[in-house]
Structure 1
Amino acid sequence: MILTIDIGNTVITVGTVSKTGTHFVEHISTDVKKTDLEYAIAFRTILELYEIPSHPLTGSIISSVVPPLTAVVNRALTKIIGKPALVVGPGVKTGLPIKIDNPAQLGSDMVVNAVAAVAEYPLPLLLIDMGTATTLSVIDESGAYLGGSILPGAGIALDSLVKRTAQLPRISFDAPEKAIAKNTVDSMKCGIVYGSSAMLDGMIDRMEQELGKSLFALATGDLAKAVIPYCTHKIQYDEMLPLKGLYRIYMKNRTDGSC
């Protein structure tokens, strides 16, 4: 069993995975001010909540889009497991062909998700990750990463709307009953939820038209749960996708026989 850590700009996703599957997934807030000890305590607490002692953990792996935190979290994992984590980056085997102008620029989170998606879902595929940013990645029939799009996330859009207007309140991500809303809160919910779903539908249409073929649509990321039910396209949701991708990369790079 290994501990998987996906460091995003807003949340850190934590889980344990073994050859029998993913055991849990939890999220804690990303905070660059925390020390390695504070993160070690947070990870240990999560493991204790799920009654997973640290001694069955044979290793750990990190994917990070927050460079200042990578070493901090690695030290935290070393305190818990007794050895450093594998960090997804240059030199780490992924098995994913990347057909973009500069493959080194592809974020480790997008690589991790793509590795899991290729292994578990039909191709060609459109992979949607709705986190701080919303990313759309296209993977062809051979399992190669072709490219995609990066858009402001729904959370960022809402934060900007609230901060830059004097009278608009902070709202939840619930969808209102109607698209033609009758009050300010429901109007904002329409824009965020229905607007985000319409954006995804439009991007899927445009990408399928460009490729000349249909794409299997797959989504991950916490905000996707609130948006994809309102898309006209069928989009499958997989909350565990990043953890499964991390596990597969770990297994490709292991040198001690751990699983």
Structure 2
Amino acid sequence: MILAVDIGNTNTTCGFFAEDELLFRFRLFSSLNQTADELALRLNGLLELRGKSLADIKHLLIGSVVPPLTKTWLEMASIYGIEDVKVATPEKIGIPVKLRYPCEVGVDRVLNALAGWHKYRQSLIIVDYGTATTFDCISEKGEYLGGAIAPGVMAAAETLFKKTSKLPRLEFSKVPEEIIGKDTISAMRTGVLWGFAALTDGLITRLAGEFEKKPYVIATGGLAKLMARLSLQIKEVEPDLTLEGLVIWFKKKNE
């Protein structure tokens, strides 16, 4: 049994795997203030809801962009007897990173590239809708070429709420039916959702112009399904790409 953990700035996404099969996933809020014991309590409670426990974890795989939380997870594993713990870093993942400063890239982006290449075996642009919106380019040879980083959809909406006196906080349960907003809420939804769809399609067009052959476009992250409905460029949604990347990396290490 494998617990793959993607520690992000806002949420920590966990996937429980039996070999290659994802049995279930859940999310934790990425709290910098929690102790190792508090983390174990939350984690074990969520596992028990699905008939599992900490004792069922044979391998713990961590991909993290939040170093203090990596430390908390490692401490939790040590206290509660999870012996096989592996932390992915960009240079360990095993695909060429063609950047000026490879150490700067987030491990989640390289894990996405690994999983995307493993599934599609062709040039790709991967859009990840997380705290930031990232665009990652993978060559026909499976090389990580770089990409672009834009604000996250939720972060942009939250900024509108916090930096203005009268605009409310948005929720994104549905797509605006009309492009021209007839009230404040619908105008904000149009601006944020359709605006980010236009940003997505525009950046993909620009990035794709740097490829020799047209890349295939996939999306992942919390808002990927919603944004894929608005984008003209996204072809597939892969909701568990980072978690799958961790498992692929682990299995390649143990071949």
Per the normalisation by structure 1, the TM-score is 0.93
Say whether residues 1:171 and 2:170 are aligned partners: yes
Q: Tell me which amino acid in the other structure corresponds to 1:202.
A: G
Please give the alpha-carbon distance, in whole angstroms, between the structure 2 residues aligned to 1:77 and 1:136. Answer: 33
Which consecutive residues of structure 2, in runs of 5 or more, have no partner in the other structure? none
Following superposition, the deviation at residue 80 of structure 1 comes to 4.0
Which one has more relative contact order, counting CA pairs under 8 Å at least 6 apart? 1
Equivalent residues of 2:97, 2:145 under 8 A apart: yes
Please give the alpha-carbon distance, in whole angstroms, between the structure 1 residues aligned to 2:244 and 2:102. Answer: 22
Gap change, CA 1:70 and 1:43, over 3 Å in 2: same
Equivalent residues of 2:123, 2:137 under 8 A apart: yes
Percent identity between the two aligned chains? 35
Equivalent residues of 1:59, 1:81 under 8 A apart: no
Offset from partner CA, 1:94-135 (integer Å, 9 cap, x none): 221111111111111111111111101241000111100000
- Report the 3-state secondary structure (helix = DSSP H, G, I; strand = E; otherwise coil) of the residue aligned with 1:211: coil
Paired residues for 1:215-226 under 5 Å? 215-226=215-226
Please give the alpha-carbon distance, in whole angstroms, between the structure 1 residues aligned to 2:35 and 2:84. Answer: 16
Following superposition, the deviation at residue 154 of structure 1 comes to 0.6
Q: Tell me which amino acid in the other structure corresponds to 2:144.
A: Y
Following superposition, the deviation at residue 21 of structure 1 comes to 1.1
Equivalent residues of 1:35, 1:72 under 8 A apart: yes
Equivalent residues of 1:122, 1:216 under 8 A apart: no
Please give the alpha-carbon distance, in whole angstroms, between the structure 2 residues aligned to 1:152 and 1:20. Answer: 33
Q: Tell me which amino acid in the other structure corresponds to 2:217.
A: A
Offset from partner CA, 1:168-191 (integer Å, 9 cap, x none): 001111321011110000000001
Following superposition, the deviation at residue 17 of structure 1 comes to 1.7
Say whether residues 1:18 and 2:18 are aligned partners: yes
CA RMSD of aligned residues (A): 1.6
Say whether residues 1:155 and 2:154 are aligned partners: yes
Gap change, CA 1:91 and 1:232, over 3 Å in 2: closer
Following superposition, the deviation at residue 251 of structure 1 comes to 1.9
- Report the 3-state secondary structure (helix = DSSP H, G, I; strand = E; otherwise coil) of the residue aligned with 1:239: coil
Match of 1:108 in 2: 107
Equivalent residues of 2:7, 2:13 under 8 A apart: yes
Following superposition, the deviation at residue 196 of structure 1 comes to 0.8
Please give the alpha-carbon distance, in whole angstroms, between the structure 1 residues aligned to 2:23 and 2:72. Answer: 25
Q: Tell me which amino acid in the other structure corresponds to 2:219.
A: A
Paired residues for 1:16-165 under 5 Å? 16-83=16-83, 85-89=85-89, 92=92, 94-165=93-164
Equivalent residues of 2:219, 2:234 under 8 A apart: no
Please give the alpha-carbon distance, in whole angstroms, between the structure 2 residues aligned to 1:138 and 1:90. Answer: 15
Equivalent residues of 1:17, 1:23 under 8 A apart: yes
Gap change, CA 1:218 and 1:80, over 3 Å in 2: farther
- Report the 3-state secondary structure (helix = DSSP H, G, I; strand = E; otherwise coil) of the residue aligned with 1:46: helix
Gap change, CA 1:82 and 1:207, over 3 Å in 2: closer
Larger CA deviation: 210-219 vs 141-150 = 210-219
Which consecutive residues of structure 1, in runs of 5 or more, have no partner in the other structure? none
Gap change, CA 1:240 and 1:129, over 3 Å in 2: same
Offset from partner CA, 1:12-37 (integer Å, 9 cap, x none): 00111232411111111111000011
Q: May I ask how many residue pairs the two structures share in their alignment?
A: 254
Offset from partner CA, 1:28-66 (integer Å, 9 cap, x none): 111100001111111111211111244442211111111
Equivalent residues of 1:22, 1:243 under 8 A apart: no
Please give the alpha-carbon distance, in whole angstroms, between the structure 2 residues aligned to 1:77 and 1:86. Answer: 11
Per the normalisation by structure 2, the TM-score is 0.94
Equivalent residues of 1:2, 1:58 under 8 A apart: yes
